[in-house]
Each structure stands twice: as C-alpha cells, then as structure tokens.
Amino acid sequence: MWTVPEAEDKTISRAMGVKDERLKLISEGCDPIRKDVKHESKDILNEVSRTHNAIQTLDKTISNLEMELAATRAVQESIINGSPISDELKIPETNGKRKYLMVVGINTAFSSRKRRDSVRATWMPQGEERKKLEEEKGIIMRFVIGHSATSGGILDRAIEAEDRKHGDFLRLEHVEGYLELSAKTKTYFATAAALWDADFYVKVDDDVHVNIATLGATLARHRTKPRVYIGCMKSGPVLAQKGVRYHEPEHWKFGEEGNKYFRHATGQLYAISRDLASYISINQHVLHKYANEDVSLGSWFIGLDVDHIDDRSLCCGTTDCEWKAQAGSVCVASFDWTCSGICKSVERMKDVHRRCGEGKNALWTEA
C-alpha cells in the first residue's frame, strides 16, 4: 500500500485552504482587486463629469466676454469714425444683463410705411402690450432699418417721426439699399446681440405673417443646443446669367454652371442662437457678402459645427396655413413663394391674420 508523506499532505491541505478562501472572497463580492478597480472607475467618471461641466461654464463665460468686447469695439469705432452712437446703444449696462427668449427684427425699408402699419394692425403688439411682452415673456420686437445715403434727409426724418409715435424701431449704423442686404443682416445681428442678451435672434421680412407665440414655443425646443440655425432650408440654383433676379456675380466659386447653392434658410424668416450671433458680431469685418442675403448667412455657418434645423412650419403658404390652423397645427410664418412674401401684403395681411392667426390670447397663455 502506498502512503502519502506527511509533509506533502500538509502542503496540499494548505493549497486547498487558500483556494477555498479565494473562492469565498469572490463569491461574497469582496475581491480586493476588483473592488479597487470599480471604485477607481467611479472616481474617473465623476472627474470627467466635473471637467465637462467646468468646460461648459468656461465656454459660456468666454462667449459673454467676447460679446462685451465686440460691443465695446463697435462703440469705439463709431467714436473714431465720427458716427453718432444710436440711442439704443446708450441703454444703461444693467439693461443688457436681463435674459430674453428672442429678439425679432422685422426687416423694413423707407418706402414700406404701409407694410409696417399692416404688421402693427395684426401680429405685432403695440404700446403697453408690447412692453408687457418684453417684461413678462422676454420677447423683443423691432422694425429694423438703417439710414439713407443723405444723413438727416427727408427719409431719415420720416422714420424718426414714425418712431416717436410708435417707439418700435431699431436704427442701424448702415446705409440702406437692396444690394446691401447682406451687410444689413450682419449689422443687425451684431447690434441686437450687443443690446439684448437673448437665446435667439430672428430676422423676418415685413411682408410675412408671423404667429409670435408659436415662434417662441418652436425656438424654445432648441434652447439646449449651443449653435442652432433654424429656417426652411433650401438649395436653389446658382444663377450665372446677368440681368436676371438673384444673379450671382461670384457664380464661378460654386463650381460648374448649373450647380446649386449649399443648403441655407430661405430669407423670409430664420433664427439663430446667441453663439452664432456672437460669432457674426466678432467676425463681421471678415465675413464675405454674396449677392443674396440668405446665401451669405448660410455661407458664414457652412464651416462651423452648427445644427441646421429645417422646420417647414416657418414657410407655410397663405392657403395652406388656414387648414393647418383648423387642424391644430398653427404655422409659425406664412407667405406666398411666388412673391417671396405675401402677395399684396398691405391689402391681404389682415385676411391672412384672420384665417391663419394663432388667436389673440396665445401670447399670454403660452408657457
């Protein structure tokens, strides 16, 4: 009979004991190595989260400082060039600290008095109601216009008189002209961003019908996105032929004849977030202007990390908007594509408002 030596038997017993103890630790979830790794992973995740929050806070701080710097530069340049500083820019600094939902700039011209009155009579609140809208809902609304080539001439005096009556203009340091719309757009966004700290800045033409409460609710859904460009996105042909409407003198930059533009928002109404307005303000002197204002705006964002939001409720037809409203899907903006606005808007704005409007109390019931 073979017998196992005593020493060897003790060694085997010790080995078996260690193995049993290790199995017991693992089964109870007390493996010291695994516990340390798990604890270390949790610490890393917490550190990453804290770092991410710190970066976001720093980004916002830098953006605010850049905006303040841009506004200061604008005032300094006005002084150096001998240009008068508009009354809007003289608003006390404390006013700029207030946060608004959106600034709605209604693009208008010297010859468009009747269009402005049709807007005032329909979708743009007046007097105390407009002030209440600013204070309670954080919505700023202004007609946007620059100056005539003859500073202080009859055209400028007419606007000044109209502004004294209604108090609803934003005057830009810009000389008006159809071929200067791209420059006017840059100046508008830079000026509005310097005056009002808003989540969004909107540009709309004065022959378009807008449901302001619906617009606010639509934009509010995108508040968490830092760089947003919202509108009805399109990609029309680049027109190389001289003499046609929307001719593009720099057509060669877009490739061969027959090519289309990059995707961009149609010019009747679009909105951008504060970071993009800040970007325009800071870089306005080096942003290239194409013949068409909506193309210019799209070109400024094409190389940036921007969310392009294609929202067709911002470009309803004046016939479609009625049945959509009846179905409970109120349009943000309505116009006629054939006229690039509401055809004969002065005569038809009230009718479109009656058929497609969101209701008189919508502004005050919308959260």
How is the chain split into domains, by residue range? 8-83, 95-365
User: Among candidates 152, 120, 182, which has minimal Cα distance to 171?
Assistant: 152
pLDDT band at 359 (very low <50, low <70, confident <90, very high): confident
Q: Which two tokens stand for residue 4?
A: 């196992």
What pLDDT, on a 0 to 100 scale, did the predictor assign at position 92?
41
CB atoms near residue 41 (< 10 Å): 10
CB atoms near residue 307 (< 10 Å): 13
What pLDDT, on a 0 to 100 scale, did the predictor assign at position 291?
87
Q: Tell me the C-alpha distance between 14 and 4, whole Å.
A: 15
Q: Which two tokens stand for residue 182?
A: 């791209």
Angle between helices 113-120 and 154-166 (to 10 degrees): 10
User: Among candidates 233, 213, 237, which has minimal Cα distance to 315?
Assistant: 233
Q: CA dist 84 to 75, 158, 172, 190, 257, Å?
A: 9, 18, 11, 17, 45
What pLDDT, on a 0 to 100 scale, did the predictor assign at position 70?
59
Q: Which two tokens stand for residue 10?
A: 């003790």
Q: Which two tokens stand for residue 177?
A: 């002209």
Q: For the ranges 150-154, 206-210, 310-314, which has the lowest average pLDDT? A: 150-154
Under DSSP, is residue 344 helix (H, G, I), strand (E, B) or coil?
coil
pLDDT at 50 over 80: no
pLDDT at 94 over 50: no
What pLDDT, on a 0 to 100 scale, did the predictor assign at position 242?
87
Place of tokens 């378009």: 208
The DSSP bridge pattern shows strands 333-334 and 209-210 to be antiparallel
pLDDT tens-place string over residues 124-168: 999 999 999 999 999 999 999 999 998 889 999 999 999 999 999
Q: Tell me the C-alpha distance between 236 and 245, whole Å.
A: 13
Query: Which residue has better confidence, 72 or 352?
Result: 352
Q: For the ranges 80-84, 284-288, 291-295, which has the lowest average pLDDT? A: 80-84
What pLDDT, on a 0 to 100 scale, did the predictor assign at position 348?
98
What pLDDT, on a 0 to 100 scale, did the predictor assign at position 95?
46
pLDDT at 47 over 90: no
pLDDT at 332 over 90: yes
Q: Which two tokens stand for residue 89?
A: 């820019």
Is residue 110 a contact partner of residue 176, using CB atoms and an 8 Å limit? yes
pLDDT band at 56 (very low <50, low <70, confident <90, very high): low
Alpha helices in 167-211 (DSSP H): 181-195
pLDDT band at 274 (very low <50, low <70, confident <90, very high): very high
What pLDDT, on a 0 to 100 scale, did the predictor assign at position 93?
46
What pLDDT, on a 0 to 100 scale, did the predictor assign at position 155?
96
Calculate mean pLDDT across residues 322-329.
94
CATH of region 95-365, choose from 1.20.1560.10, 3.40.50.300, 3.90.550.50, 3.30.1490.70: 3.90.550.50
Residues β-bridged to residue 106? 143, 204
Q: Tell me the C-alpha distance between 90 and 72, whole Å.
A: 12
Is residue 330 a contact partner of residue 363, using CB atoms and an 8 Å limit? no
What pLDDT, on a 0 to 100 scale, did the predictor assign at position 78?
47
User: Among candidates 262, 350, 331, 256, which has minimal Cα distance to 303?
Assistant: 262
Query: Which residue has better confidence, 233 or 82?
Result: 233
Residue 284's φ and ψ, nearest 5 degrees, are -60, -30
Percent of the chain exceeding pLDDT 90 equals 62
What pLDDT, on a 0 to 100 scale, did the predictor assign at position 27?
52
Q: What is the mean pLDDT of the chain?
A: 84
Q: Tell me the C-alpha distance between 266 and 332, whole Å.
A: 14
Calculate mean pLDDT across residues 45-74.
64
User: Among candidates 243, 229, 109, which has minimal Cα distance to 180?
Assistant: 109
Q: For the ranges 40-54, 220-234, 322-336, which has the lowest average pLDDT? A: 40-54
DSSP readout, 279-335? HHHHHTTT----SSHHHHHHHHHTTS--EEEE-GGGSB-TTHHHHHHHTT---SEE-
Backbone angle region of 204, left / alpha / beta, with phi > 0 → left and psi within -120 to 50 → alpha: beta
Residue 74: which H helix or E strand, with range? Answer: helix 32-80
Place of tokens 């719309």: 181
Q: Which two tokens stand for residue 35?
A: 């516990």
> In the chain, what are the helix, strand and coil shares in percent, each to the nearest 5?
50, 20, 30
pLDDT at 120 over 60: yes
pLDDT at 79 over 50: no
What pLDDT, on a 0 to 100 scale, did the predictor assign at position 354?
97
* Amino acid in the structure at residue 197: D
Give the contacts of 55 (CB within 8 A, at least 6 positions apart): none
